[in-house]
Amino acid sequence: MEITISSKRLQQEVIQTELCTSCGMCIGLCPYIKSFKEKTAFIHQCQVDDGKCYNICPRGETDWPQMDQEIFGKQRTDHVLGNYNQLLFARAKESDFSQKGQYSGLTSALVSYALSIGEIDGAVLSGGEPGKMPEPTLATTRDDVLAAAGSKYSAVPTLLSLNKAIEEGFKNLGVVGRPCQVLAARKMQLRYNNPSDLPGNKIKLIIGLFCFWALSPEFYEFLAEKTKGANIASLDITTEDLVVRTNGEELKLPVENIRRFICPTCQQCFDPTSEFADLSIGSTEFDPGWNTLIIRTDKGRELIEQSIKDGIIEVYTYPAERIPLLLQAVGNKKKRVLEEWEPTYLKLNESYHRAVERGM
């Protein structure tokens, strides 16, 4: 018999199968779903059919072509990077952002700018000290944004802050999230926006990060052990190493050492570049003073144009010789997911399968 109760479906298809990404979007939608140590838990059975929790879940059934249609009004031609407008190098110009930010601080600079011009009245971010369990936060000022800068490499349930902010009455919210979070926020935005007091209508800007995987919180215990409790100033994960900077010292550990902490759901992720965001931002894997920027929607393009005009950020042509590297990394990941996992949550059409056969 087909299960129609959303919370049961969510438990069976997503929680029990360890597909939950801990995006946080369902947390706080009702009193039954909560998060603890980056794990989503059901504390009581709900009996509602067609509930939001399943409908907004990034690992709930997702019709990929339909998402493209609803967001971009068209199907994709690029099966690796999805629908986009421009691929660029970009960086924040102000030193505060480049110092606090993971790379150039582009993301933080854009969020701070969007707040300053009133484009958004709050931004949902992932704050906390480097190397410690991060926390979902809501930023309303430049200082708040700077305090939440820097990548946290675990699955922060950031979007629970989105639900909280909506409940508190924020009307124009920005979101910075991992690709799964972008998908969840988009689902909320598209599916629950009419009448206008519904939560989807309060989501105004979605900035997505590049993300190939996030780690489980045991990673922090591992870190504390490796650094012998020293204060961690910053963390970075490059293609080869985990780089931990403590006061004065730099510790390099091969990425292999932390693979065992990778969340199982990340292996089934089909979206390393936040394909449904307004803007997607990643590293350049090359120059930490810059970021990779993908402009996807008109809204994203307008924000970038305006922030360039106001001298907040600057952009640079994406070096042609680096494009194949990016395409290869992303394409391989997507191909692997389809071939090895055939995730059941993904609903794709023929063009995707043909693309896989062609090698993406």
Ligand X SMILES: Cc1cc2nc3c(=O)[nH]c(=O)nc-3n(C[C@H](O)[C@H](O)[C@H](O)COP(=O)(O)OP(=O)(O)OC[C@H]3O[C@@H](n4cnc5c(N)ncnc54)[C@H](O)[C@@H]3O)c2cc1C
Residues that bind other proteins (CB under 8 A): 6, 29-32, 34-37, 39, 41-48, 50-53
Q: At what angle do helices 64-72 and 179-191 cross, to 10 degrees?
A: 70
277 touching ligand X, by CB under 6 A? no
Distance in Å, CB of 158 to other proteins, minimum: 18
Least distance from ligand X to the Cβ atom of residue 291, Å: 5
Residues 6 or more apart whose CB falls under 8 angstroms from that of 164 comprise 28, 138
Contact between 29 and ligand X by CB under 6 A: the answer reads no
Residue 153 backbone zone (phi > 0: left; psi -120 to 50: alpha; other: beta): alpha
Residue 156, interface with ligand X (CB under 6 A)?
A: yes
Cα(51)–Cα(56) distance, integer angstroms: 9
Mask of contacts with ligand X, 123-152, x by CB under 6 A? --xx---------------------xxxxx
User: Between 199 and 208, whose beta carbon lies closer to ligand X?
Assistant: 208
- Choice from 11, 40, 291, 307 touching ligand X (CB under 6 A): 291
Nearer to other proteins, 98 or 154 (CB): 154
With CB atoms as reference, the residue minimizing the distance to ligand X is 282
203 binds ligand X (CB under 6 A): no
Give the residue with the Cβ less far from other proteins, 26 or 315.
26
- Which of 64/153 has CB closer to ligand X? 153
Bridge partners of 36? 39
CB of 288 to ligand X, least distance (A): 8
Binding partner of residue 44 among ligand X, other proteins, none, CB cut-off 5 to 8 Å per kind: other proteins
CA torsion 107→301→190→120, rounded to 10°? 50
- Distance between CA atoms of residues 108 and 110, nearest Å: 5
Q: What is the dihedral of CA 39, 43, 45, 51, to 10 degrees?
A: -50
Q: Is the Cβ of residue 6 or residue 283 nearer to other proteins in the bound state?
A: 6
- Check binding of 22 to ligand X (CB under 6 A): no
Q: Which residues pair with 88 in a beta bridge?
A: 293, 317
Q: What is the largest CA-CA distance in the chain?
A: 61
How far is 209 from 175, CA to CA, in rounded Å? 11
Q: Which amino acid is at 141?
A: T
In contact, 294 and 110? CB cutoff 8 Å: no
Q: Which is nearer to other proteins, 34 or 93 (CB)?
A: 34
Q: Is 308 helix (H, G, I), strand (E, B) or coil?
A: helix
Task: Report the distance separating Cα 75 and Cα 73, nearest Å.
Answer: 7
133 binds, among other proteins, ligand X, none (CB under 5 to 8 A by kind): none
Q: Is 35 in the site for ligand X (CB under 6 A)?
A: no
Our CB check for ligand X shows the closer of 46 and 261 to be 261
Token pair for 123? 């931004």
45: partner contacted, choices ligand X, other proteins, none (Cβ within 5-8 A by kind): other proteins
- Our finding on whether 107 is near ligand X (CB under 6 A) is yes
C-beta of residue 26 within 8 angstroms of C-beta of residue 53? yes
Interface of this chain with ligand X, residues 36 to 65, rule: CB under 6 A: none
**CB of 211: closest distance to ligand X in angstroms?**
4
Q: How many CB atoms lie within 10 A of CB 324?
A: 10
Q: How far is the CB of 108 from ligand X (least distance, A)?
A: 3
Binding residues for ligand X, rule: CB under 6 A, are 101-108, 125-126, 148-153, 156, 158, 176-178, 209-212, 214, 281-283, 291
